[in-house]
Amino acid sequence: MPISENMVQEIVQEVMAKMQIADAPAGKHGIFKDMNDAIEAAKKSQAIVKKMSMDQREKILTCIRKKIRENAEVLARMGVDETGMGNVGDKILKHHLVADKTPGTEDITTTAWSGDRGLTLIEMGPFGVIGAITPCTNPSETILCNTIGMLAGGNTVVFNPHPQAIKTSIYAINLLNEASLEAGGPDNIAVTVEKPTLETSNIMMKHKDIPLIAATGGPGVVTAVLSSGKRGIGAGAGNPPAVVDETADIRKAAQDIVNGCTFDNNLPCIAEKEIVAVSSIVDELMHYLVTENDCYLASKEEQDKLTEVVLAGGRLNRKCVGRDARTLLSMIGVEVPANIRCIVFEGPKEHPLIATELMMPILGVVRAKDFDDAVEQAVWLEHGNRHSAHIHSKNIDNITKYAKAIDTAILVKNAPSYAALGFGGEGYCTFTIASRTGEGLTSASTFTKRRRCVMSDSLCIR
């Protein structure tokens, strides 16, 4: 059938409409010029939320989940375009994970003691308005995930997002409020300012109406929040090592590690950042990494060039964070086929590309003389973050020894790191892993206060 001019016009209009969706200004819901006004609006909204039934809260959450699924691709593209980090396909998956596996009101439970002296309950109540600081590595994922948990707990939330991801963050916040309004809830369940800065962050941290701050980011922001005088939930940096011993399925270990390491170009804080392998299987592991898993083996000279670019002047070059392996290699003048997805090399644990949390698909392999040495080197590489670690082994004594020594919030055995987020593993999803302050993988209950409710000598009807 020949294509008429009208049909061409229709197709052009359809494409233009889609482009406008992706570029649309973020809308107005929840976006303020002034941080104090944003907090005031969230406070009014919380006064409404706290009177709502759990069922009403859950209706809003259902609508939020629906909107996340509908907007997963728009948010993924926007995040990649704005920050230059990560890849669209994996970011779409991350948004679906947030929509499907972030706990809602079912996480708010009651503990009861009933006996001769009556009935005592522990109920989880809201804090009120929570302040949240979010990273540029998972901008909308963190905002959406935090809001689901915080709202399920009866709170509203004020965000101070990373300035480099403000467009994406505003889009997500607008979406959350649209969902609330559509489900009969209030506007401003989540709010932010048009231009977040350290100053707006300080206003939020010191504000009398913010009793709790959840910080997701590097060591600087967690320290700032823990020095604020407020209660803080600190989800800080990691540098997760993947240990491989001689009992592992080496072929599968290579595949799992590369899959985890390259997910969203290594942006997740839980992703494998280096391998520590016992000497007897290092060559076999390297063989599988290179021949079956699209890894590029970097020469000593290429490692030096990469170090100069990636850690220019001894500091992490933000222009390299979240880039794919081919782009990183092209920055040092190395062109590789399209299938290459990870850069590997063998080096000592002190190698700057191994010891530093790079957040890019560069995977150094450290040789250990035996398992005890592997554990010692992995603990050193984790830098006491107590964040995430991974192991490939079939020896439960080895796994137990490693788990006790490394003492991290997350330890994945015989799977890619993202199994810890419920992706190909059991359990719920979060993008705020409170490594520093010990809450671990946050969920709705993390954002509540425990309150004891005592009825003396009554209501026990046994």
- Using DSSP, state whether 308 is helix, strand or coil: helix
266 touching ligand NAD, by CB under 6 A: no
What are the Cα distances from residue 455, in Å, to 254, 450, 451, 460?
Answer: 58, 17, 13, 9
Q: Which stretch binds ligand NAD (CB under 6 A): 136-144, 186-194, 361-369, 374-382?
A: 136-144
Q: Is 238 in the site for ligand NAD (CB under 6 A)?
A: yes
Q: Binder to ligand NAD among 136, 226, 289, 420 (CB under 6 A)?
A: 136
Q: How far is the CB of 287 from ligand NAD (least distance, A)?
A: 30
237 touches ligand NAD by CB under 6 A = yes
Say whether residue 203 binds ligand NAD (CB under 6 A): no
Give yes or no for residue 220 binding ligand NAD (CB under 6 A).
yes
Q: Which stretch binds ligand NAD (CB under 6 A): 219-227, 273-281, 336-344, 400-408?
A: 219-227
- Return the residue nearest ligand NAD (CB atom): 217
List the x/- string, 99-118, binding to ligand NAD by CB under 6 A. Answer: --------------------
Q: Which of 98, 286, 362, 433 binds ligand NAD (CB under 6 A)?
A: 433
| Binding segment toward ligand NAD, per CB under 6 A, in 52-60, 130-138, 302-310, 341-349 | 130-138
Which region, judged by CB under 6 A, interacts with ligand NAD, from 234-242, 255-263, 334-342, 397-405? 234-242
Beta strand 156-160 with 190-193: parallel, antiparallel or unpaired? parallel
The number of residues that bind ligand NAD (CB under 6 A) is: 26
CA distances from 231 to 131, 225, 226, 366, 449 (A): 11, 8, 7, 39, 12
Residue 140 in the binding site for ligand NAD (CB under 6 A): no
Angle at 436 between CA 39 and CA 107, to 5 degrees: 65
What is the smallest separation between the CB atom of 364 and ligand NAD, expressed in angstroms?
Answer: 17
**Pairing mode, if any, of strands 448-456 and 241-244?**
unpaired
DSSP letter for 208, please.
Answer: T
In one letter, which amino acid is 194?
Answer: E
Q: Which is nearer to ligand NAD, 105 or 134 (CB)?
A: 134
Q: Toward ligand NAD, which CB reaches closer, 143 or 289? A: 143
Tell me which of 148, 235, 353, 360 binds ligand NAD, using CB under 6 A: 235
Should residue 138 be labelled a site residue for ligand NAD when binding is judged by CB under 6 A?
Answer: yes
Q: Which residues pair with 242 in a beta bridge?
A: 275, 390
Question: Considering the rule CB under 6 A, would residue 133 count as an interface residue with ligand NAD?
Answer: yes
Minimum CB separation of residue 339 from ligand NAD in Å reads: 28
Distance between CA atoms of residues 242 and 413, nearest Å: 9
Cα 402 to Cα 404: distance, rounded to the nearest angstrom:
5
Residue of 79, 103, 153, 161 interacting with ligand NAD (CB under 6 A): 161
One-character DSSP codes across 68-83: HHHHHHHHHHHHHHHH
Please tell me the distance from the alpha carbon of residue 284 to that of residue 449, in angstroms, as a whole number.
Answer: 51
What is the rounded distance in angstroms from the CA atom of residue 38 to the CA atom of residue 26?
16
Q: How far apart are CA 125 and CA 103, in angstroms?
A: 16
Non-local (6+) Cβ contacts of 128 within 8 A are 43, 46, 155, 156, 209, 211
Point out which residues pair with 296 in neighbouring strands: 343
Among 170, 224, 258, 342, binds ligand NAD (CB under 6 A): 224
User: Residue 409: CB partners within 8 Å, gap ≥ 6?
Assistant: 386, 387, 388, 433, 434, 435, 438, 440, 441
Site membership for ligand NAD, residue 269 (CB under 6 A): yes
How far apart, in whole angstroms, are the C-alpha atoms of residue 351 and residue 340?
Answer: 23
Q: Which stretch binds ligand NAD (CB under 6 A): 9-17, 117-125, 214-222, 296-304?
A: 214-222
162 binds ligand NAD (CB under 6 A): yes
Nearer to ligand NAD, 99 or 166 (CB): 166
**Could you say whether residue 358 binds ligand NAD (CB under 6 A)?**
no
Residue of the chain from 172, 189, 221, 233 that contacts ligand NAD (CB under 6 A): 221
Phi and psi torsions of 342, nearest 5° = -150, 150
User: What would the two tokens of residue 428 be?
Assistant: 């719920």
Rounded to an integer, what distance in angstroms lies between the CA atom of residue 107 and that of residue 429?
12
Q: Toward ligand NAD, which CB reaches closer, 212 or 340? A: 212
Q: Point out which residues bind ligand NAD (CB under 6 A).
A: 133-138, 161-162, 198, 201, 216-218, 220-221, 224, 235-238, 269, 357, 431-433, 435
